[in-house]
Each structure stands twice: as structure tokens, then as C-alpha cells.
Amino acid sequence: MARLIFHGHACVELIAEDGTRLLIDPFLSDNPLADVAADHFDRLDYLLLTHGHFDHVADSWEILQRTGATLIATFEIVSYAQERQGVASAHPMHIGGGYDFPFGRVKLTPALHGGQVAGEGAEGYTTFPAGLLIAIDDHRVYHAGDTALTTDMTLLRGQVDTALLPIGDNFTMGPEDAVRAIEMIEPSVVIPIHYDTFDVIRQDAGSFRELVGGRAEVVVLGAGDSYEL
């Protein structure tokens, strides 16, 4: 079975049974709550990005160049990575599209958020933010990225085993809207992300668990904690 490791904020590592390693939204070097730095990843197969904001892409270019991992992201982010950051291996996708990779399937889902790409020379690049629906070792993981509550989430009902949902409020859904998202998606397990990193997104994960109640199992992970999928 695959394993999930939380590295703080919205950064998640997935390790498949065969050892394939995926990393999502690495914000490590400037994240006071991260458990590792960018140089922790000496081997990586894929790096996935939900959108281009600094707190999701900050360490991406260095990790991609050093490890040779394949970038999976929207067309515009991939274009920036190849044209401005010298990323050699990448697979562009876009909202609503899916693709079968050796480790499993990835589909990009809608997310309501900003489209800026953070990085030197990125002024001409904007993109739609996305969520990630990942099938790995017969387990379905939904990383919502940074998003508001949207009725599009009802389309995910029956397709998600584990959902990673932002609860920080201010920039994304807050706890109450995340509960409504759970009601739409009906996952078995929910892991809260994108909270506590900055004062403006402070939340009590225990209170969130109480709000969720019996709708799903809530697994609260600290940076460095892992969860068997």
C-alpha cells in the first residue's frame, strides 16, 4: 500500500508500493513549520503542482533540476518551468484532463483561487489553479490545492478515498466550508492542510475534527508524520 508523508502547509509526499516517489507543492525552505529542507529529496520521480503561488512552488525548480523528476502541472506552469527554469522533464495537463502514468492516474480538477505563477521571469505566465485526483496503488487521493468551496466538488462523490482539504480560511476554504466539501465528496478519510503556517490562517485542527463529526475520519498530521493509505 502507498504511504503519505505530510511536510507542512500543503506539501505532501506519496510513496507507492514499488518505491515511486511523488511530491506535491513543495514549500519548505521558507516554511517555519516544514520538517525537511529542499535538499532532503535526493531522489524523486514526479513533482506535482496545484498552482503557481510561492507557498506551493517555492522549492520546485531547485528540486526538479537536482533530481531530474518529471513535473506534472498545468500547461502554463510547465511552459514556464521549461522556458525559464530549464526543467527537462515535464508533462503538461489542464483542468478536466486525466493521464495514466506508470504509478497510476492523475486528473486535474477545478479549484477557485488565483492564477499567478511565482518566479523570476514569470510575469507573462498565469494559469488556472487545480486540484489533483491521484489514483495510486488502488487508492484514490484528492489534493484540493488552494480552493474555495465549489459545487463542482459534488462531481467527486464516490471517487475519493482520502481527501486533503485546506481549512485555513482567508485565502482558501475555512473549516465550515471544508465540512460542506466533505458532505459533497463523501471521502472515507480527511486530512486538513494549508493552516497554521501564517497567523492569518491559524486554525484548531481538533475543533475541525469535531465539526466533521461522523461524516469522515479526520487524520491530523504534523510535519513529518506519515499515513498508510
Per-residue exposure over 98-118, b if at least 16 CB sit within 10 Å of its own CB, e if not: eeebebbebbbbbbebeebbb
Total domain count, the chain: 1
- The residue whose grid cell reads 505530510 is 6
Residue 222 included in any domain: no
User: Which pLDDT score is estimated for 129?
Assistant: 92
Edge-to-edge order in the sheet of strand 98-101: 98-101, 104-110, 130-136, 139-143, 162-166, 189-193, 217-218
Q: How far apart are CA 63 and CA 23, in angstroms?
A: 10
Residue 116 included in any domain: yes
CATH of the domain at 39: 3.60.15.10
User: Which pLDDT score is estimated for 6?
Assistant: 98
Residue 223 included in any domain: no
Residue 227 included in any domain: no
Residue 225 included in any domain: no
User: Which pLDDT score is estimated for 115?
Assistant: 64
User: Which pLDDT score is estimated for 104?
Assistant: 98
User: Which pLDDT score is estimated for 114?
Assistant: 56
Residue 110 included in any domain: yes
Say which residues have a Cβ less than 8 Å from residue 155's Cβ, sequence separation at least 6: none
3-state secondary structure of 99: strand
Residue 14 included in any domain: yes
**Contact (Cβ atoms closer than 8 angstroms) between residue 196 and residue 202:** yes
In terms of phi and psi (left: phi > 0; alpha: psi -120 to 50; beta: otherwise), the region of 186 is: left
Q: What is the pTM of this model?
A: 0.95
Q: How far apart are CA 5 and CA 121, in angstroms?
A: 32
User: Which pLDDT score is estimated for 122?
Assistant: 60
User: What is the rounded (10 degree) CA torsion for 25, 27, 28, 34?
Assistant: -90
User: Which pLDDT score is estimated for 210?
Assistant: 98
What's the burial of 89, exposed, middle or buried (CB within 10 Å: 0-12/13-18/19+)?
middle
**Contact (Cβ atoms closer than 8 angstroms) between residue 185 and residue 219:** no
Residue 220 included in any domain: no
Per-residue exposure over 41-66, b if at least 16 CB sit within 10 Å of its own CB, e if not: beebbbbbbbbbbebbbbbbbbbbee
Residue 152: name the closest of 98, 109, 212 by CA. Answer: 109
Mean pLDDT by 10 residues, the chain (229 residues): 97 98 97 95 97 94 97 94 95 97 97 69 74 98 97 97 98 98 98 98 98 98 98
List alpha helices for the chain, DSSP H: 54-57, 60-67, 75-84, 175-185, 205-212
Residue ranges making up the domain that contains 130: 3-215
